[in-house]
Structures are given as structure tokens and as C-alpha cells.
């Protein structure tokens, strides 16, 4: 496709409305328009190359233009691009379902497809609620969620993870799901944030188990600022769910497919949830694929002569053949990559260490290849910058000038390199990060 930079800029500004973007600010700046990628880098319409330090917003696993992934899509194109899963099946979606169950925590036996992470969360919530309804326990319809967690932007997902800034206009449309604190050691007011969180969850379950269908949780918190809970959080939560007879939904949309150094974050604590939501890295970051995995026990509660016990829910592109074909090869490649990840994550942690000494860095949090750098006005008091000050963007914009794309969420700069980045590439990326903090010291001090 041959269009000039000027044309693209004009059309972008005239026709596009960007997701999660402050459009007023955006329109005042020159847009960044990506035209191609290669490995861990992307190139813009002016020919400049950048490291993809967000893995194209947490999706990319093996880098861009991976020959085997490209090939999988081309081969599938020679067969068929898409064929529905409604009442029938297609080849790649069938094979991918088997592959997903082979690599998933052992209790998970069934795959329900969606085409985005929020859709996978919606399906999980609806399956959980209808599961109990099918069993004649229709009072169990609330979902216990955690503060700071993010589950996507459709109304059902927003209902279990409302945010004051993002969702103020929809408050009246949202159900009154209970929420408890997520263990956030850096900002917790107690000296045992794990206890605080689990006690609050247990208290709610004790009092309201007959109203609660499921607990939904991110095993490592992503979009709320990369919050890494103390070890044992997920396994203890899982035990609480069994004790009080509520289902556990683990949202692995961000953490799945190697992001934390494990195939799934659940693996680290040996947890097999009742429902697991997958998206983002499932296709290697190539095509919109998502899935909700569940147990045979839950699936069986929907097998009935009574039609209304079926799960009448679905998306037109569910089980898309091109997406499934590339996802299968993504998993094959990942199985080889996973054993190399712990050592690389360790090396990355050493590379990040000097950044922690920067005067406006409060804390660096890392779970494998998910990194959050919390920017604070005052390290001792941990005083946050206001959202409006856009402190994170000051640093991110500097990094972009220096050739690294990163994106802040509030005051937390998120760094999520593709998992195949070499140590040398990681060194170059972290060096740019350090330099970006160093070069914005003055500006940050004036905010």
C-alpha cells in the first residue's frame, strides 16, 4: 500500500477515533503511524524504527513477521479464512481447542471461543451465573472482584472492574458486585497486604456465599499498574473459593502465554480454576482470538433436554480459522521458548535495577516480562503525581524520541517487551528507559 506520510496523517486526524486515547491532546500532535515491523521493532511512516516496548499493547509474543506464524496464516488462507462455529466446526478451531486443553491447568477441559479478552470475560461471567441458575441456585449471581483489577471494556467486564476515571458515566448501568482490596504491597496501609485482601474476600464470602456465583481475579494485576501480589495469593484464594462453594474465574488475558515466564500464571501456584479467560498473546499477537476455558463439571450443567439450559451466547468470528491456525503455531513455538524465559527474566531484572535509583521512581515491579515502573513525586512519602500531570507520558514521550515505544497507565510506566527479545535488545531497551528518566528529571521536578 503506497500512501504518503502526509496523506496518512491527514486521514488519521480526520477519520479515526483512537481507543483509550485523550483525543484532544492527540489531535494537537503529529501521530505515529506504524507501517511495518520486524522482530522486536516497528517502523513508522517516516521510516523511523522503534523498539516495541509494549509488545503492541501486550499481545506480541515472538516479535513481528515471524516466518512460521506468517506461514501458518498463508497456508490456512489456501483453505478457508473463516467458517462459523455456530452448530458446526472448523479444522483449526478444533485442533486449537485440543492444544489449549493440553497446555492448560489440568482441571480445564472445554474451550469456548471469543474474539477479544473482554468477550472471554463476559462469557466466563455468564457461564458462572448460568451454571448456578441451571442447578436451581438462581440467587448466586454476583461476582466478587478485586480493586485495581481490569477485565476489559464491555459493560459486563466493566461491572466487575469499575474505575472512577474511566467509567463514571456508566455507574448507574452497573450491577452492585462486591469488591475487596487486591494485595498491593507498595501502597498498602497494612504490613500484611496479602492477609488484608484474603480476609476481606473471606468475610464477603462468609456473609454472601449464597448470592455470589464466582470470584474474578487477575493473578498478576496488569492494567491497574502491574501489581504483583505476594506468593500464595492465588492458591489461597482458590482454596477459599472451594470452601465457600463459589467458582473461581482467573483472567489470564494479560498473563497467559508466557508473559510471566510461565505458560500461565496459574502454573506458578499450581492452581486449576473453574474458568480461565485467555486473549492477547494467544495468537502471538497476530489476530483477534480469545477463549474461555472451563471444567467438564461446569460444561455438564449445560447439557439438558431443557433448551433454556443451553448457553445461548456467541460471537460471529468465534473460532476464526486464520486466528486459530496461527494460535496453534504460536503454542508450538512457545513450548520451546518457555524453558528459556526464567533466566532471561532474571537478566532483565538486573538491567532494570539502575532505573530504581532514579529520583522519581518509586518502585519497579516485575513478573517475568510484565514490568511496571511506578513514578512518584516523592520517593520517601510515595506521593503520587496527579493523573492530569501526565508524568508517565513525559517519560514515555522521551523514550519514543530515543527509539522505544512504551505506554504509561496513570503514573505507572508499563514495559512489556516481546518474549523473544535477546539480552542485547533488552539491554538497549532498558538503557533507553534509564536515559528517558534521566533526561526528564528537570521536567518531572517542575510538575
Ligand X SMILES: *Cc1c(COP(=O)(O)O)cnc(C)c1O
The residue ranges that bind ligand X (CB under 6 A) are 116-118, 121, 150-152, 218, 222-223, 251, 253-254, 279-280
Query: Closest separation between CB of residue 219 and ligand X, Å?
Result: 9
Q: Min. distance of Cβ 369 from ligand X in angstroms?
A: 14
Quote the CA–CA distance of 185 and 183 in Å, as a whole number.
Answer: 6
Taking CA 39 as the corner, what is the angle to CA 34 and CA 44, rounded to the nearest 5 degrees? 15
Paired residues of 230 in beta bridges: none
Give the C-alpha separation, 17 to 70, whole Å.
29
As measured in angstroms, the least distance from the Cβ of 316 to ligand X is 16
- Contact between 400 and 440 (Cβ < 8 Å): no
Q: At its nearest, how many Å lie between ligand X and the CB of residue 218?
A: 5
- CB-nearer residue toward ligand X: 118 or 213: 118
Nearest Cα to Cα of residue 443 among 363, 359, 365, 374: 359
Residue 57 C-beta: closest distance to ligand X, Å = 8
Closer to ligand X by Cβ: residue 66 or 265: 265
Question: Which of 179, 398 has the CB closer to ligand X?
Answer: 179
Is 61 or 223 the residue whose CB approaches ligand X more closely?
223
Least distance from ligand X to the Cβ atom of residue 273, Å: 14
- Cβ proximity to ligand X: between 263 and 394 the closer is 263
From the list 112, 72, 170, 92, the residue with the least C-alpha distance to 298 is 112
Give the position of cell 527479545: 421
Residue 338: Cβ-neighbour burial (10 angstroms; 0-12, 13-18, 19+) = middle
Q: In the bound complex, what is the minimum distance in angstroms from residue 281's beta carbon to ligand X? A: 10
**CB of residue 45 to ligand X, shortest distance in Å:** 25
Nearest CB to ligand X, comparing residues 118 and 123: 118
Which residue number places its CB atom closest to ligand X? Answer: 117
Nearer Cβ to ligand X, position 286 or 360? Answer: 286
CB of 223 to ligand X, least distance (A): 5
Task: Kindly tell me which of 254 and 364 has the beta carbon lying closer to ligand X.
Answer: 254
Query: Least Å distance between CB 114 and ligand X?
Result: 9
- In the bound state with ligand X, the residue whose beta carbon lies nearer, of 19 and 339, is 19
Between 152 and 183, whose beta carbon lies closer to ligand X?
Answer: 152
Least CB distance from residue 125 to ligand X, whole Å?
A: 12
Cell 522482530, residue located: 39
- Cβ proximity to ligand X: between 64 and 151 the closer is 151
Burial per residue of 339-349, b for 16 or more beta-carbon CB atoms within 10 angstroms, e otherwise: eebeebbeebe
| CB 38, CB 421: distance < 8 Å | no
Amino acid at each position: 500500500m503506497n500512501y504518503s506520510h502526509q496523506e496518512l496523517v491527514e486521514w488519521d486526524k480526520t477519520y479515526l477515533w483512537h481507543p483509550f486515547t485523550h483525543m484532544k491532546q492527540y489531535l494537537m500532535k503529529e501521530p505515529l503511524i506504524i507501517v511495518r515491523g520486524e522482530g522486536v521493532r516497528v517502523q513508522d511512516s517516516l521510516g523511523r524504527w522503534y523498539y516495541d516496548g509494549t509488545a503492541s499493547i501486550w499481545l506480541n509474543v515472538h516479535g513481528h513477521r515471524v516466518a512460521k506464524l506468517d506461514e501458518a496464516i498463508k497456508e490456512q488462507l489456501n483453505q478457508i479464512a473463516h467458517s462459523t462455529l455456530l452448530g458446526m466446526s472448523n479444522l483449526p478451531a478444533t485442533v486449537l481447542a485440543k492444544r489449549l486443553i493440553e497446555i492448560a491447568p489440568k482441571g480445564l477441559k472445554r474451550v469456548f471461543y471469543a474474539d477479544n479478552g473482554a468477550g472471554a470475560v463476559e462469557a466466563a461471567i455468564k457461564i458462572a451465573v448460568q451454571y448456578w441458575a441451571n442447578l436451581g441456585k438462581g440467587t448466586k449471581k454476583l461476582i466478587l472482584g478485586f480493586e485495581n483489577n481490569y477485565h476489559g471494556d464491555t459493560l459486563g467486564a466493566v461491572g466487575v472492574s469499575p474505575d472512577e476515571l474511566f467509567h463514571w458515566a456508566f455507574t448507574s448501568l452497573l450491577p452492585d458486585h462486591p469488591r475487596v482490596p487486591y494485595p498491593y504491597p507498595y501502597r498498602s496501609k497494612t504490613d500484611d497486604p496479602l492477609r488484608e485482601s484474603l480476609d476481606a474476600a473471606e468475610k464477603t464470602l462468609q456473609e454472601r456465599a449464597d448470592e455470589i456465583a464466582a470470584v474474578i481475579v487477575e493473578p498478576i494485576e496488569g492494567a491497574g499498574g502491574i501489581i504483583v501480589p505476594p506468593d500464595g495469593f492465588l492458591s489461597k484464594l482458590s482454596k477459599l473459593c472451594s470452601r465457600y462453594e463459589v467458582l473461581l474465574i482467573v483472567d489470564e488475558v494479560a498473563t497467559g502465554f508466557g508473559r510471566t515466564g510461565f505458560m500461565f500464571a496459574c502454573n506458578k501456584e499450581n492452581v486449576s480454576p473453574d474458568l480461565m479467560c485467555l486473549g492477547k498473546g494467544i495468537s502471538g499477537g497476530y489476530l483477534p482470538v480469545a477463549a474461555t476455558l472451563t471444567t467438564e463439571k461446569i460444561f455438564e450443567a449445560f447439557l439438558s433436554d431443557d433448551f433454556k439450559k443451553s448457553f445461548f451466547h456467541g460471537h460471529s468470528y468465534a473460532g476464526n480459522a486464520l486466528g486459530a491456525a496461527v494460535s496453534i503455531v504460536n503454542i508450538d513455538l512457545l513450548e520451546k521458548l518457555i524453558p528459556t524465559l526464567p533466566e532471561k527474566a532474571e537478566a532483565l531484572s538486573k538491567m532494570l535495577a539502575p532505573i530504581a535509583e532514579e529520583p522519581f521512581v518509586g518502585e519497579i515491579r516485575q513478573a517475568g516480562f510484565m514490568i511496571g515502573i511506578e513514578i512518584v513525586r516523592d520517593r520517601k512519602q510515595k506521593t503520587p503525581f496527579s493523573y492530569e500531570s501526565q508524568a508517565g507520558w513525559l517519560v514515555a514521550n522521551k523514550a519514543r524520541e530515543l527509539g522505544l515505544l512504551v505506554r504509561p497507565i496513570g503514573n505507572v510506566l508499563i514495559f512489556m517487551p516481546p518474549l523473544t527479545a535477546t539480552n542485547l535488545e533488552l539491554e538497549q531497551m532498558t538503557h533507553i528507559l534509564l536515559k528517558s528518566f534521566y533526561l526528564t528529571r528537570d521536567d518531572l521536578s517542575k510538575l
